[in-house]
Structure 1
Amino acid sequence: MASLTFLGAVGEVTGSRYLLEYHDGGREHRWLLECGLHQGGPDADRANAEPFGQLAGQLDGVVLSHGHLDHAGLLPKLVREGFAGPIHCTRDTAELLDIMLRDAAFVMAKDIEWDNKWRRKAGKPLLEPLYELDDVERTLARCVPHGYGQVVSLGGDASLVFRDAGHILGSAIVELGVPAGGRQRRLVFSGDLGNPDSVLMHPAEKPRDADVVLMESTYGDRDHRPLEETLEEFAEVLEQAHAAGGNVLIPAFAVGRTQEVLYHLSVLYHQGRLKQQRIFLDSPMAIRVTELYARKKAALNRDDLKVLNVAAQGDPSQYLPGLRLTRTVEESMAINRIHGGAIIIAGAGMCTGGRILHHFRYNLAKPGTRVVIVGFQAAGTLGRALVDGAERVKVLGEALMVKARIHTLGGFSAHAGQRELIGWIGAFRNTPRVYLVHGEPGAQQRLQAALAESGIQAEIPRYGERITL
Structure 2
Amino acid sequence: MQVTFHGAAQTVTGSMHLVEVNGQRLLLDCGLYQGPRAETYARNLHFPFDPATIDAVILSHAHIDHAGNLPNLVKQGFHGAIWATPATRDLSVAMLQDSGHIQESDVEFLNKRRARQGEPPVEPLYTRADALASLKYFMTADYERPTQVLPGVTFTFFDAGHILGSAMVQLDCQEAERSTRLVFSGDIGRKGLAILRDPTLLPAADYVIMESTYGDRLHETPVEAQDHLASIIKQTFRRRGKVIVPAFAVGRTQELVYALYELTEEAEIPNLPVYIDSPLATNITEVFRLHPECYDAETRQLLDQAEGRGGPFGFKNLRYVRDVKDSKALNFLRESAIIISASGMAETGRILHHLRNSIGDASNTILFVGFQAENTLGRRLLDGVSPVRIFGEMHTVRAAIERIEGYSAHGDRHDLLAWVDHMDHARLRQVFLVHGEPESANALADGIRGLGITNVVAPTLHEHFDLA
1:174 is the counterpart of 2:169: yes
Distance, in Å, in 2 between the alignment partners of 1:337 and 1:224 is 35
Runs of 5+ unmatched residues, structure 1: none
Residue 14 of structure 1: CA displacement?
0.4
Partner residue in 1 for 2:461? 463
The alignment partner of 2:84 has SS state of: strand
Residue 182 of structure 1: CA displacement?
1.9
Distance, in Å, in 2 between the alignment partners of 1:279 and 1:383 is 21
Distance, in Å, in 2 between the alignment partners of 1:375 and 1:135 is 29
Partner residue in 1 for 2:78? 83
Give the one of 64, 85, 92 matched to 2:87. Answer: 92
1:315 is the counterpart of 2:309: yes
Partner residue in 1 for 2:25? 30
TM-score (normalizing by structure 1): 0.95
The alignment partner of 1:159 has SS state of: strand
The alignment partner of 2:444 has SS state of: helix
Once the two structures are superposed, what CA deviation does each residue of 1:141-177 show, in whole Å capped at 9, x if it has no partner?
Answer: 0000110011111232211110000000110000111
Distance, in Å, in 2 between the alignment partners of 1:359 and 1:135 is 28
1:44 is the counterpart of 2:43: no
The CA RMSD measured in Å over matched residues stands at 1.5
Contact kept? 2:310, 2:316, Cα under 8 Å: no
Partner residue in 2 for 1:451? 448
Residue 432 of structure 1: CA displacement?
3.4
Partner residue in 2 for 1:292? 287
Counterpart of 1:50, as a letter, is: H
Residue 317 of structure 1: CA displacement?
5.3
Give the one of 158, 165, 175 matched to 2:160. Answer: 165
Partner residue in 2 for 1:13? 12
Residue 252 of structure 1: CA displacement?
1.8
Give the one of 223, 231, 245 matched to 2:226. Answer: 231
Superposed counterparts of 1:362-373, under 5 Å = 362-373=357-368
Give the one of 326, 335, 340 matched to 1:331. Answer: 326
Superposed counterparts of 1:254-265, under 5 Å = 254-265=249-260
Distance, in Å, in 1 between the alignment partners of 2:111 and 2:310 is 44
Counterpart of 1:206, as a letter, is: L
Counterpart of 1:414, as a letter, is: A
Contact kept? 2:152, 2:175, Cα under 8 Å: no
Contact kept? 2:27, 2:56, Cα under 8 Å: yes
Residue 123 of structure 1: CA displacement?
3.3
The alignment partner of 1:195 has SS state of: coil
1:401 is the counterpart of 2:396: yes
Residue 441 of structure 1: CA displacement?
0.4
Residue 50 of structure 1: CA displacement?
1.8
Residue 313 of structure 1: CA displacement?
7.3
Question: Measured at CA, do residues 125 and 277 of structure 1 come closer, stay the same or move farther in structure 2, by a change above 3 Å?
Answer: same
Residue 230 of structure 1: CA displacement?
1.3
Superposed counterparts of 1:56-455, under 5 Å = 56-180=51-175, 182-307=177-302, 310=305, 312=306, 315-316=309-310, 320-429=315-424, 430-455=427-452
Q: Judge which range, 127-136 or 399-408, deviates more.
A: 127-136
Distance, in Å, in 2 between the alignment partners of 1:432 and 1:40 is 33
The alignment partner of 1:273 has SS state of: coil
The alignment partner of 1:411 has SS state of: coil
Question: Measured at CA, do residues 138 and 337 of structure 1 come closer, stay the same or move farther in structure 2, by a change above 3 Å?
Answer: same
Counterpart of 2:5, as a letter, is: F
Once the two structures are superposed, what CA deviation does each residue of 1:183-226 show, in whole Å capped at 9, x if it has no partner?
Answer: 22111000000021321110111111111100100000111111
Counterpart of 1:436, as a letter, is: L
Counterpart of 1:395, as a letter, is: I
Contact kept? 1:265, 1:320, Cα under 8 Å: no
Once the two structures are superposed, what CA deviation does each residue of 1:340-387 show, in whole Å capped at 9, x if it has no partner?
Answer: 310001111100011111111221111111111110001011111111
Contact kept? 1:266, 1:308, Cα under 8 Å: no
Counterpart of 1:439, as a letter, is: G
Contact kept? 1:91, 1:147, Cα under 8 Å: yes
Counterpart of 2:16, as a letter, is: R
The alignment partner of 2:332 has SS state of: coil
Q: Judge which range, 38-47 or 182-191, deviates more.
A: 38-47
Q: Judge which range, 34-43 or 284-293, deviates more.
A: 34-43
Distance, in Å, in 2 between the alignment partners of 1:156 and 1:304 is 40
Contact kept? 2:303, 2:311, Cα under 8 Å: no
Counterpart of 1:6, as a letter, is: F
TM-score (normalizing by structure 2): 0.96
Counterpart of 1:186, as a letter, is: R
The alignment partner of 1:415 has SS state of: coil
Residue 120 of structure 1: CA displacement?
2.8
Q: Judge which range, 249-258 or 396-405, deviates more.
A: 396-405
The alignment partner of 1:402 has SS state of: coil
Distance, in Å, in 1 between the alignment partners of 2:271 and 2:108 is 36
Runs of 5+ unmatched residues, structure 2: none
Residue 121 of structure 1: CA displacement?
3.4
Distance, in Å, in 2 between the alignment partners of 1:15 and 1:300 is 27
Distance, in Å, in 1 between the alignment partners of 2:374 and 2:159 is 28
Distance, in Å, in 1 between the alignment partners of 2:150 and 2:43 is 32
Counterpart of 1:316, as a letter, is: G
Q: Judge which range, 175-184 or 246-255, deviates more.
A: 175-184
The alignment partner of 2:209 has SS state of: strand
The alignment partner of 1:407 has SS state of: strand
The alignment partner of 2:150 has SS state of: coil
Distance, in Å, in 2 between the alignment partners of 1:407 and 1:77 is 35
Distance, in Å, in 2 between the alignment partners of 1:447 and 1:282 is 36
Counterpart of 1:47, as a letter, is: R
Report percent identity of matched pairs: 38
Question: Measured at CA, do residues 320 and 274 of structure 1 come closer, stay the same or move farther in structure 2, by a change above 3 Å?
Answer: farther
Contact kept? 1:52, 1:81, Cα under 8 Å: no
Count of residues in Structure 1 that have an aligned counterpart in Structure 2? 462
Counterpart of 2:6, as a letter, is: L
Counterpart of 1:8, as a letter, is: G
Residue 297 of structure 1: CA displacement?
2.2
